[in-house]
Amino acid sequence: MVSIAINKGPQNVAMLGIGAYRPERIVSNAEVCETLDSTPEWIFDRTGIHNRRWISGDETIRSMSVAAGERALKNTGIDRSKIGALVLCTSSWLKLTPHGAPSIAADLGMNGIPAFDLVSGCGGFCYGLGVATDMIRAGSAEYILVIGAETMTVGLDPTDRGTAMIFGDGAGAVVIGPAEENGISPTVWGSDGENAEAIAQDVDFLAYMNKAQAMQGTDPQVEPIGRMSLHMEGPKVFRWAAVTLPRALSSAIELSGVAKEDIEVFVPHQANARINELMKKNLGLADDLPMANDIENTGNTSAASIPLAIEEMLVTGKAKGGQLALLLGFGAGLSYAGQVAVLPPAPAEPSF
């Protein structure tokens, strides 16, 4: 029997650098309440959000992804010719075909490398981090650029109390590559498809197109077509999170081989500040342990939230490069993914 050669990559892999892009437009709770039946105080009390960033002008998911990727490359100091793959973690790229990653790779001057989109909702970045790390360890690439980017406001219903006050836009990117010591643990991940519809588009693409076609024929029996938007069953998602996420966090720490007391920073997905505080408490992490709270002025940016939160902590000094962080992304699917990872150096070129 003929044996097939195996390209074995390095066992020690780490986040070598980070970059981000935050839209220029800052949207306050008061502005959200101009169309939403709520108050700024109620929104902050329930979510921990004061402001969020929304795209405006010529900002797009493509331009934000390129800007974040460019900053990550500059902050890492790795020549872009060494990047062997690009993973775009997003659920809001506007086209199924062509997918976004190849265009972003070309814009970054890396046309020709393998580039693909990874869709896993708010857990997308941690999924991408796990996939990229395993690719490097398997020898598929030496360095990989992982980008988490979302324009959640494109599919936002401004009158929906379950989503309108939560979501924002942005992009964050990291360069993954070989390191002297391992900086990314094996990924703990999973999903609950039985409850997947708890976070979902209100209509699928086929139904949307059929409705649009009927409207063109001015069928009086067809209601006027509206925007395709995202809806969420908050109580169901909360119950799922309360049961599933503590186990995932404990498993991530156990699989990493470090003790809970060794964790120096907690970076959960920025879905809700109150939920994150509860997770930290239930996990038994120290009260003074730094925890990401980028949601306060950035909102929930889905797959972009964790790299944006890491960048904010490094830029403001709430965390330092080299510290051991517990990461957890969770949301649509319903899916989750988490790792223990060493934080990259603070960016020389920050996003704010």
Determine which one of 51, 75, 122, 276 is catalytic: 122
Give bridge partners of residue 16 from the DSSP assignment: none
DSSP state, residue 4 = P
Distance CA 268, CA 125 (A): 11
Contact 174, 15 (CB under 8 A): yes
Distance CA 35, CA 15 (A): 41
**Annotated catalytic residue 122:** yes
Output the CA torsion 313→68→16→285 (10° steps): 30
Contact 133, 13 (CB under 8 A): yes
Distance CA 55, CA 299 (A): 13
- Tokens read off for 189: 């991940």
Q: Is the dihedral of CA 76, 330, 31, 223 positive or negative?
A: positive
Contact 69, 115 (CB under 8 A): no
Determine which one of 75, 89, 269, 293 is catalytic: 269
Give bridge partners of residue 332 from the DSSP assignment: none
Q: Is the dihedral of CA 34, 36, 41, 43 positive or negative?
A: negative
Distance CA 136, CA 167 (A): 33
Give bridge partners of residue 173 from the DSSP assignment: 19, 147
Give 39's contacts (C-beta < 8 A, 6+ positions apart).
29, 33
Distance CA 93, CA 90 (A): 7
- Tokens read off for 106: 């070309």
Q: What are phi and psi of 181, to 5 degrees?
A: -125, 150
Distance CA 81, CA 136 (A): 16
Active site residues: 122, 269, 300
